């Protein structure tokens, strides 16, 4: 009997605890259980410049972040996950909106699914992209935590470095010297080693 099969009898909050401890099978099962909810939330938003598949993947990032940020004494997991999914989806649509110079108000809420019973037939497989999406979520969480230890200019340097810009391009764009860029990159590496939760890093490197 597989680990995932044995986990199926556990409550969602128990699975969250196991996922937070680094058990990837627990995270997989949470994503499987909440996938219909994620699709339902995505179906409420109309964004002509966004593919539904991309919206779902973005929303799954919100779900996975909810797993790692969840604190049981604050609320139930389902309501916490719903808010996290909606927040991530809205941020994604806002980003695309700005990128394509469209008004955010073009993303109109449309209640295509009236109830949870309607959400079973989504036409999308949960299996698609879950592993890469989990890695995206973990990456974003690590980046967010690293930024807590950086100054404003260091965050700008860090973001450009993540986006693949060379040291020279960062120098010119931000009007800083080479040493500042290199020092920031080295600082980021130290922060990752010393400040990031080892369980989070372990989960990140285990994702494929």
Q: pLDDT tens across 132-148, in order?
A: 677 778 778 888 888 99
Report helix, strand or coil for 122. coil
CA 24, chain centre distance (Å) = 16
> Rounded distance, CA 134 to CA 77, Å?
18
Give yes or no for a contact between 166 and 178, defined as CB atoms under 8 angstroms apart. no
Q: Which residues of the chain have pLDDT under 70?
A: 1, 46, 48-49, 96-132, 204-208
State the Cα–Cα distance between residues 126 and 31, nearest whole angstrom: 8
pLDDT (0 to 100) of residue 92: 86
pTM of the predicted model as reported, rounded to 2 decimal places = 0.61
Place of tokens 């807590």: 148
Across-strand partners of 179? none
Q: Residue 173: name the closest of 161, 185, 183, 182 by CA.
A: 161
């Amino acid at each position: 009997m597989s680990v995932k099969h044995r986990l199926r009898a556990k409550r969602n909050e128990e699975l969250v605890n196991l996922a937070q401890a680094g058990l990837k099978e627990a995270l997989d099962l949470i994503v499987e259980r909440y996938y219909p909810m994620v699709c339902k939330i995505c179906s409420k938003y109309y964004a002509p410049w966004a593919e539904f598949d991309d919206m779902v993947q973005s929303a799954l990032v919100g779900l996975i972040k909810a797993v790692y940020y969840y604190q049981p004494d604050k609320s139930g997991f389902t309501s916490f996950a719903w808010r996290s999914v909606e927040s991530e989806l809205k941020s994604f649509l806002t980003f695309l909106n700005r990128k394509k110079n469209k008004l955010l108000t073009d993303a109109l809420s449309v209640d295509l699914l009236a109830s949870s019973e309607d959400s079973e037939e989504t036409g999308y497989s949960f299996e698609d992209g879950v592993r890469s999406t989990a890695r995206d979520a973990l990456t974003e969480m690590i980046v967010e935590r690293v930024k807590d230890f950086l100054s404003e200019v260091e965050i700008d340097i860090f973001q450009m470095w993540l986006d693949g810009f060379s040291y020279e391009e960062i120098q010119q764009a931000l009007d800083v010297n080479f040493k500042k860029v290199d020092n920031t990159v080295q600082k980021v590496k130290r922060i990752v080693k010393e400040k990031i939760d080892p369980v989070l890093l372990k989960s990140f490197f285990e994702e494929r």
